[in-house]
């Protein structure tokens, strides 16, 4: 099967019904060895492009990963970014906001961790939690003391979508390229993975009672994701709904998406002027003397 990321990209204004988007597709690899070869090839290209991104120093890339619990975000980050220079890539995870963060607008805490020019930033969860978990659990919104927020009449979510798309347009205009990935896992596959976390002592730390509580609200979360993705997938910052029941296929999709973003940038290593070449030759001559 060919990796066509256009098939999983949400078009601007498109209605999103996640029940109609596949969580499982035929494998995009022929065997485990083929998967390893494909991923290694992607990782090598990512490493080269990240170096060029840093050398060009005009753009940053922000990758946002969102998903239901146990969809494979951590594994995707670990495997896809395994060959990228750690100095050129920052991974930030966001959990429940702190007391200090609750005293600011909902975009404040994530803004502090945006990638600098020349770097790739990965958000494991993000400001999108503010229209996802906050929508499912209104008590969080109440803690934010948002004016008129207690009404939760739909207006606040539309306003937040508008804030998010405006923020992302601003970042795009200033050189940050944003790619948003939703790892789409089925409820049955999630159950299987959560049971594995209970049964495998090495994975016990990965599960908590909150995971089971969130699972009870599966339909509410799905609806929150559907409306959010539909409202915020834009030309410059599209959403990709990646089938995630097969972790290996999901990782190949994620790496391919990031590759395409980097390949679409106008990047090159700095050209060497005559003066710079002369300077380099002088440094060579000095080194050769010692």
- What digits encode the pLDDT tens for the residues 11-47? 999 999 999 999 999 999 999 999 999 999 999 999 9
**What span, in angstroms and rounded, lies between the C-alpha atoms of 172 and 184?**
26
Q: Residue 224: what are its φ and ψ, rounded to 5°?
A: -65, -40
pLDDT for 238:
97
pLDDT for 151:
56
pLDDT for 145:
79
Domain boundaries, the chain: 5-288
pLDDT for 81:
92
Residue 287: count other Cβ atoms within 10 Å of its Cβ: 8
Residues in the chain: 290
Q: Look-up: residue for tokens 């499982």?
A: 24
Say if pTM beats, i.e. exceeds, 0.75. yes
**Sheet architecture: strand order including 89-93:** 89-93, 120-124, 60-67, 176-184, 239-243
Instruction: Pick out the chain residues at pLDDT < 50.
Output: 150
Asked if the 5-288 domain carries CATH number 3.40.50.300, the reply is yes
**What span, in angstroms and rounded, lies between the C-alpha atoms of 182 and 233?**
11
């Amino acid at each position: 099967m060919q990796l066509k990321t256009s098939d999983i990209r949400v078009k601007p204004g498109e209605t999103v019904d996640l029940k109609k988007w596949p969580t499982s597709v035929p494998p995009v690899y022929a065997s485990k060895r083929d998967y390893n070869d494909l991923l290694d090839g992607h990782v090598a290209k990512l490493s080269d492009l990240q170096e060029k991104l840093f050398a060009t120093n005009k753009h940053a890339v922000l990758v946002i990963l969102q998903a239901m619990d146990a969809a494979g975000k951590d594994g995707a980050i670990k495997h896809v970014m395994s060959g990228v220079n750690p100095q050129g890539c920052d991974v930030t995870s966001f959990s429940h906001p702190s007391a200090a963060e609750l005293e600011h607008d909902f975009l404040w805490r994530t803004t502090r961790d945006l990638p600098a020019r020349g770097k790739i930033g990965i958000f494991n969860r993000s400001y999108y939690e503010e229209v996802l978990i906050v929508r499912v659990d209104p008590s969080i919104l109440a803690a934010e003391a948002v004016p008129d927020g207690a009404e939760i009449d739909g207006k606040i979510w539309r306003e937040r979508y508008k804030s998010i798309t405006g923020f992302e347009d601003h970042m795009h205009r200033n050189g940050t390229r944003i790619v948003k990935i939703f790892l789409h896992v089925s409820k049955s596959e999630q159950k299987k993975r959560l049971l594995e976390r209970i049964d495998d002592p090495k994975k016990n730390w990965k599960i908590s009672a909150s995971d089971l509580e969130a699972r009870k609200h599966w339909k509410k979360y799905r609806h929150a994701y559907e409306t959010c993705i539909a409202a915020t997938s834009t030309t410059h910052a599209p959403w990709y709904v990646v089938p995630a029941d097969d972790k290996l296929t999901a990782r190949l999709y994620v790496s391919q998406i990031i590759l395409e973003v980097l390949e679409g940038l106008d990047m090159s290593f700095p050209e060497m002027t005559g003066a710079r070449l002369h300077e380099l030759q002088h440094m060579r001559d000095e080194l050769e003397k010692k």
